[in-house]
């Protein structure tokens, strides 16, 4: 499964304004709630409950907030970029700049884990992260992810 199979352009935010975890989640959820036709506040609540179990700030400037959502028909992905960085309770204590938001239907654990693995794999590439951090709009971000995925696909096959 490719990231761009589930990441719609309108769910890409190139300039997050929030300066705290809840604010970032509220911003990331806005386009995704519209796309999935699910209540915005409910989605934020699901994500905040997940964060209470342990931060999804994985370190090195990355946050991958995720949660399982009742009545969601298919997996939904969002992306956000924070130029100034946000304290996301990351393991390494550093601010997060790159966010992938992942919402999955309650019963689809396999898919959820596959996509999480895919995202963390491409985020190990420092050049890819640098390109993302330098991006200024959603089209640029979309192209950078597309390029990285095509490259990853070539090396896997």
Of the residues 66, 97, 112, 157, which is catalytic?
66
Domain covering 3-156 assigned CATH 3.40.930.10 in the classification: yes
Element spanning 9, H or E: strand 7-13
Residue-level pLDDT at 152: 78
Phi-psi region of 59 (alpha: psi -120 to 50; beta: other; left: phi over 0): left
For residue 40, indicate whether it is catalytic. Answer: no
Q: Quick check: 153 pLDDT over 90? A: no
Query: What is the model's pTM?
Result: 0.94
The reported pLDDT for the residue numbered 35 is: 93
Q: What is the pLDDT confidence band of residue 155, given thresholds at 50, 70 and 90?
A: confident
pLDDT tens digit sequence for 32-59: 999 999 999 999 999 999 999 999 999 9
- Cβ neighbour number for residue 87 with a 10 Å cutoff: 14
H-assigned helices in 54-137: 109-122, 126-134
């Amino acid at each position: 499964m490719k990231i761009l199979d589930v990441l719609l352009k309108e769910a890409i935010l190139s300039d997050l304004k929030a300066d705290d975890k809840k604010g970032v989640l509220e911003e990331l959820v806005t386009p995704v709630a519209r796309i999935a036709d699910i209540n915005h506040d409910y989605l934020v609540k699901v994500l905040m409950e997940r964060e209470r179990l342990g931060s999804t700030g994985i370190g090195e400037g990355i946050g991958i907030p995720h949660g399982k959502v009742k009545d969601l028909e298919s997996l939904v992905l969002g992306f956000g970029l924070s130029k100034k960085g946000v304290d996301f309770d990351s393991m390494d204590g550093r601010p997060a700049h790159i966010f992938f938001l992942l919402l999955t239907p309650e019963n689809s654990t396999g898919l959820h884990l596959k996509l999480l693995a895919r995202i963390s794999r491409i985020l190990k590439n420092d050049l890819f992260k640098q390109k993302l951090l330098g991006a200024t709009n959603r089209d640029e971000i979309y192209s950078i992810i597309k390029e990285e995925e095509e490259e990853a696909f070539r090396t896997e096959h």
